[in-house]
Amino acid sequence: MKILICGFHQETNSFNPIITDMENFRQGGIFEGQELISRFTGKQNQLGGIIDAVLEAKGKIIPGYSMTSQSGGMVNNEVMVHFLTKMLQIIRENKTIDGLFCAFHGATQTTQNDDAFGTILEAFRNAVGKNVVITASCDLHANVTEKAVRNADFICGYQSYPHIDCYETGFRSASIGIRRILNKENLYMAHTLIPMIVPANGYTSISGLFHDLLQKGKNLVKEGKICDFTIFQMQPWLDVSVGGSSVLVIADSKNAAKKHACELAAALWEQRDNFWPDLWDVNDILALAANNKTGKPVILVDSADSTNAGATGDSPVILKDILEYQEPIKTAFLLDDDKAVQQAERIGVGNKGTFYLGGTKAPDLFNPVEVQAVVRSIHDGEFLQEGPAGRGINRSVGKAAVLSVGSVDVLICKNAVGNGDPQLYRHFGIEPVFYQLVIVKANTSFLAAYQHIASKICWADTPGAASANLKRLNYQRLPNGFYPFNDLKSYRVSEPILSWNSEEKE
Ligand SMILES: [Zn+2]
C-alpha cells in the first residue's frame, strides 16, 4: 500500500485586509521530500497522526508537499496555485499510489477563490482518477462544501474545541482510508450543510450544549451505528459565497450515514441561539475594574482583535476608552504596532514622546490614538511560553517595547503570538497580577492560564475582524438566507448529499 501525503493549512479571516502571502507560509513552514516525513513523524498534529496510521498498517509513505501559515487575511491565490502545481507534479511522478491522505485547515479563502479546500480536492480527484482513495483531515471550523464532499472519499474534522485531538483526527481519517484500501469495505459518507455561523467563543467541547452534541455523535460510534462523524462550526469570520456549518457522518450503509447526519444537523440547528457568548459593554467592565478591591485583575477579553482568530491585533479602541474613563485604571495592554516600536527605539528608554498608537495594519478598521508615552523598555521579542498549553515553547513577537501612558502599560510589538499566555506580558516586565485590568486578545485559549489569576473574566463587545458580535461585520458574500443575519424560522435541515463514491457503490 502506497500513500501520498500532503498538507495545506491556513485559517482565513475575510475581514483582515492584509493578504496572507508566500512569506507567511515560509514562516509557518513549507516541507517536501524526506524533510516532510522527518518533520511530522511523532508529532501531535494531523500529519503526525496520518503517518502513524499508515506505518501501523505497514504502508509506504510517499511525501508530497506541506504548507502552513498562521491565521490571517485571504491567501494570495498564487500560493494555492503553487501548492497545486507542486502536488500535481508529484502525483504525475507517482502513478501507482493507492491513497492520497491530506491535512487541511479547511476554512481557507484565496484572493480569487472562496473554496480552496474544495478546489484542491477537486484538482486531486481529477489527477488521481477514481481508484485512488482520497481522505482529508481538517479543523472543526472548516468550511466543508459540496465540492469537497463530492471529490473526497472521506473527510474527518476535529471533535474538540479547544482543539486537542489534531493527531487523533489525522489518525482517524487515515484509518478509514486504509479500511477502504485494504478491506475493500464499502463505507458511505453523508453531508448536511446548514446555513449558519455562530461566534467561536460561544461554545466549547469541555461542557455545555456543544459538548453534549459531540457526545451524542460519540455514542453513535460506540454503539456501532456509525464509523465516524464531525460537527463543523464554520469559522465565522469567513465571508464566502459557498459554505456554512455542517455535519458529516461515515457509516457502512447509506441509510445510516444519511439518517444520523440529518439527526445531528437538526440538533445543531436547533441550538443555534444558544451558542452565543454574553458580551459586556466596555464601560461596564471599566467600572468593575476601577472598583476592584480583590487584589486580582479583571480580565477584559478583546476577542475581536485576536490574532489567533486571524484579526489584525492593532486595535487601540479599548485603550482610548480606558484613557477617557473618569478615573485612572492600572491596566496592562497589548498592541501590534511596528511603527511605534521603531519610534520607541529612536526616542530611547526613559524618554517621553507623542505616539499615534494602533490602526497601522488595518487603517480602515481603526483610528490611531494620540498619546504622550514614556518608553520603559525595548526588547528583541523572544519569550518562553509558561503554559499550560505550549509550556516551554519558544515564541517571538518581533521587536517590542513597553510604553507607559499614564496608568496604562502598553506592550507594543510587531506580531503578537501566544496571546492566551500570561508570559506574553510577564516576560516584558508587565506582571498581570499587579494590575486592576488586563487586556487579553484571544477567544478561549487563554482560560487555562488566566482563570486562576483573575477576579472576573469579561468578554467585551468590541469592533474588529474577529468580533463575536457578528452583526458588527459587513458580510457581503454569504448566501441569502443565512443565520444569524436572516430570519430562518421555517428552515428545515435539508436532505444530506453523499460523497462521490457513495453514489456509485450501492
Ligand atoms: Zn479551529
Per residue in 296-308, pLDDT tens? 999 999 999 999 8
pLDDT tens digits along 381-422: 999 988 777 778 889 999 999 999 999 999 999 999 989 999
C-alpha 407 – ligand 1 centre gap (Å): 36
% of the chain residues with pLDDT over 90: 87
Catalogue the E-assigned strands of 128-204. Answer: 133-138, 154-157, 188-194
Residue 208 is predicted with a pLDDT of 93
Q: Kindly tell me if the per-residue pLDDT of 505 is higher than 60.
A: no
Q: Does residue 54 contact residue 178 with C-beta atoms inside 8 Å?
A: yes
C-alpha 343 – ligand 1 centre gap (Å): 36
Residue written as grid cell 458511505: 188
C-alpha 506 – ligand 1 centre gap (Å): 34
C-alpha 165 – ligand 1 centre gap (Å): 11
Q: What angle do CA 355, 361, 362 make, to 5 degrees?
A: 105
For the record, the C-alpha cell of 449 comes out as 492560564
C-alpha 201 – ligand 1 centre gap (Å): 11
Is-cis flag, bond preceding 195, omega within 30?
no
C-alpha 140 – ligand 1 centre gap (Å): 5
pLDDT tens digits along 15-71: 999 999 999 999 889 999 999 999 999 998 999 999 999 999 999 999 999 999 999
Q: Kindly tell me if the per-residue pLDDT of 450 is higher than 70.
A: yes
C-alpha 447 – ligand 1 centre gap (Å): 16
Classify residue 14 by its DSSP letter: T
Q: Does residue 312 contact residue 469 with C-beta atoms inside 8 Å?
A: no
Q: What is the pTM of this model?
A: 0.92
Backbone angles phi, psi at 220, to 5 degrees: -60, -40
In CATH terms, 2-275+493-504 corresponds, of 3.30.1310.10, 3.40.50.2300, 3.40.50.410, 3.40.50.970, to 3.40.50.2300
C-alpha 321 – ligand 1 centre gap (Å): 31
Residue 504 is predicted with a pLDDT of 58
Per-residue pLDDT, averaged over 328-348, amounts to 98
> Looking at the chain, which residues constitute the CATH 3.40.50.2300 domain(s)?
2-275+493-504
